[in-house]
């Protein structure tokens, strides 16, 4: 908006209309916010004596969260680039109580509530007054000639009586001048309002730096996954094939060696060592990036991991297609680590892996078991590493594991399906 105001073609562009849309929608939305805040405070305060009003007051205090989300979207009307969110923390546990406790304790919630109060009590009346003064008043003056032609006289805003064509023409010319000046005034106010919202609702003074750090982290994740695939491919096509050839050569040498002699025994031991080395290498390759994951996707890789689990696993995984490579890799290793924890620590007789894709959270995976429960990320068991792996992709990990069980691990990884099998 500020750049458009400094240009010569501002009046002929869409920016005056965008300024009007931004301020007018702000006035309407602010009036709604005022009603919601006042109603919630009055109803909650009146019913607080019977405890019912406390949840109403709590919801009113959280009203700033949706208000801030809508205001960030409205900033596009003023030409402001997308504003990062208020950096709300992800609750450590699943459930509504944990979510409410986290939101009440973080500063972003109260900063957004403060903006909602400012919008409801101060900003929207200012928006409405300026829009009325800069549009309705000039347009009523521009319409004076038409009113004089129809009724013989015109009363501009019921204050200024215009009679005759000379006065009507002068009023119309003055109205056009005021309309042009009002377009600039609307642009200035819209730019100032948008800048205020950007500052109050942004991620703080380090918001741009945080955004760049998030982007660089995503680039590092992609580079790391590409390097993992390269290492896996080199081991699979290089060292693994050489060990296979060595095993075949040793097997043929055993056939040619005299049976029962020392050479036959040495060849047999060498053959066993080659087979063990090949098995270790295959396990290493599987841990780096399994070939089945690269070739057939997450459902096949998870099914393979479930087949190799010491604990019987019920599998329900339905995906519309391939997902981005880092997401598939993260999902696979989360399932593998979770099943390893089930086998080592839970004492479970059976486990279940269920998941799918949804437009909101993206990839959703749930790993449950009927074991003893009591899993705690602070006591190891690989849960901290899983949380770190998920957080790198802006995902969410929640754990429910009361003493006595059952244990439920839920992972959400934001993504979109891709036709590219390599992600």
- For residue range 4-36, list pLDDT tens digits in order: 777 778 888 888 899 999 999 999 999 999 999
CA distance 256 to 260: 12
Residue percentage of the chain with pLDDT more than 90 = 11
Q: Which residue has the tokens 């390599």?
A: 422
How far apart (Å, rounded) are the C-alpha atoms in residues 406 and 342?
Answer: 11
pLDDT confidence bin for 289, thresholds 50/70/90: low
Average pLDDT, the chain: 79
CATH code: domain 293-413 is 3.30.565.10
According to the model, what pLDDT value does residue 25 have? 93
In the predicted structure, residue 211 carries a pLDDT above the cut 70:
no
Residue 231's pLDDT band (boundaries 50, 70, 90)?
low
The order of strands in the sheet holding 362-369 is 313-318, 351-358, 362-369, 407-413, 396-400
How many CA within 13 A on the CB side of residue 94? 14
Separation of alpha carbons 272 and 293, rounded Å: 29
N- to C-terminal Cα distance for the chain?
A: 38
Phi-psi region of 380 (alpha: psi -120 to 50; beta: other; left: phi over 0): left
**Cα–Cα distance measured from residue 236 to residue 238, given in angstroms and rounded to the nearest whole number:** 6
pLDDT tens digits for range 331-349: 888 888 888 888 888 888 8
**Residue pointed to by tokens 């295959």:** 282
Which of 409, 418, 229 lies closest to 334, judged by CA?
409
Give the CA angle between residues 283, 289, 294 to the nearest 5°: 125
CA 205 → CA 80, 84, 311, 400, distances in Å?
16, 11, 50, 36
> What pLDDT sits at residue 244?
79
Strands 396-400 and 351-358: unpaired
pLDDT of residue 219: 57
- Residue 326: pLDDT over 50: yes
Residue 205 has a pLDDT of 47
Please calculate the CA angle 38-42-46 and round it to the nearest 5 degrees: 170
Quick one: residue 243, left, alpha or beta (phi over 0 = left, psi -120 to 50 = alpha)? alpha
For 249, 306, 370, the CA distances from 343, given in Å and listed in that order, are 38, 12, 11
Q: Which residue in this structure is represented by tokens 């003023």?
A: 78
- Answer yes or no: is pLDDT of 214 > 80: no
The pLDDT tens digits of the residues spanning 56-99 come to: 888 888 888 899 889 988 888 888 766 665 566 666 566 777 77
Confidence of residue 118 (pLDDT cuts 50, 70, 90): very high
382 — pLDDT class (breaks 50, 70, 90):
low
Residue 205, Cβ density class (10 Å: 0-12 exposed, 13-18 middle, ≥19 buried):
exposed
Residue with tokens 């004596």: 49
More confident residue, 399 or 165: 399
């Amino acid at each position: 908006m500020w750049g458009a105001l400094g240009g010569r073609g501002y009046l002929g562009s869409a920016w005056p209309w965008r300024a009007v849309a931004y301020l007018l929608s702000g006035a309407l939305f602010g009036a709604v916010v005022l009603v919601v805040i006042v109603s919630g405070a009055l109803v909650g305060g009146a019913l607080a004596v019977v405890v019912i009003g406390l949840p109403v007051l709590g919801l009113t205090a959280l009203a700033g969260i949706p208000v801030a989300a809508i205001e960030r979207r409205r900033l596009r009307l003023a030409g402001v680039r997308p504003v990062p969110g208020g950096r709300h923390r992800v609750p450590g546990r699943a459930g509504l109580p944990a979510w409410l406790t986290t939101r009440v304790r973080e500063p972003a919630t109260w900063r957004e509530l403060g903006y909602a109060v400012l919008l409801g009590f101060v900003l929207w009346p200012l928006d409405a007054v300026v829009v009325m003064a800069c549009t309705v008043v000039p347009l009523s003056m521009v319409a004076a000639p038409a009113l004089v032609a129809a009724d013989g006289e015109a009363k501009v805003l019921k204050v200024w009586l215009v009679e005759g064509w000379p006065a009507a023409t002068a009023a119309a010319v003055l109205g056009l001048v005021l309309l042009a000046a009002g377009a600039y005034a609307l642009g200035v106010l819209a730019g100032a309002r948008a800048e205020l919202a950007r500052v109050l609702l942004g991620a703080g003074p380090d918001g741009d730096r945080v955004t760049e750090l998030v982007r660089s982290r995503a680039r590092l994740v992609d580079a790391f996954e590409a390097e993992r695939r390269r290492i896996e491919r080199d081991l699979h096509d290089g060292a693994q094939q050489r060990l296979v050839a060595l095993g075949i050569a040793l097997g043929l040498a055993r056939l040619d060696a005299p049976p029962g002699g020392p050479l036959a025994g040495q060849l047999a031991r060498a053959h066993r060592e080659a087979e063990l080395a090949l098995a270790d290498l295959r396990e290493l390759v599987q841990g780096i990036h399994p070939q089945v994951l690269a070739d057939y996707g997450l459902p096949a890789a998870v099914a393979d991991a479930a087949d190799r689990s010491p604990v019987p696993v019920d599998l329900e995984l339905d995906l519309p297609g391939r997902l981005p490579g880092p997401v598939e890799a993260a999902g696979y290793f989360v399932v593998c680590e979770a099943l390893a924890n089930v086998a080592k620590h839970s004492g479970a007789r059976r486990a279940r892996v269920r998941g799918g894709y949804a437009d909101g959270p993206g990839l959703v995976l749930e790993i449950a078991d009927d074991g003893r429960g009591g899993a705690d990320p602070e006591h190891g068991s690989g849960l901290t590493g899983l949380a770190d792996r998920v957080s790198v992709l802006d995902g969410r990990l929640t754990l429910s594991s009361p003493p006595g069980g059952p244990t439920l691990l839920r992972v959400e990884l934001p993504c979109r399906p891709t036709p590219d099998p390599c992600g």
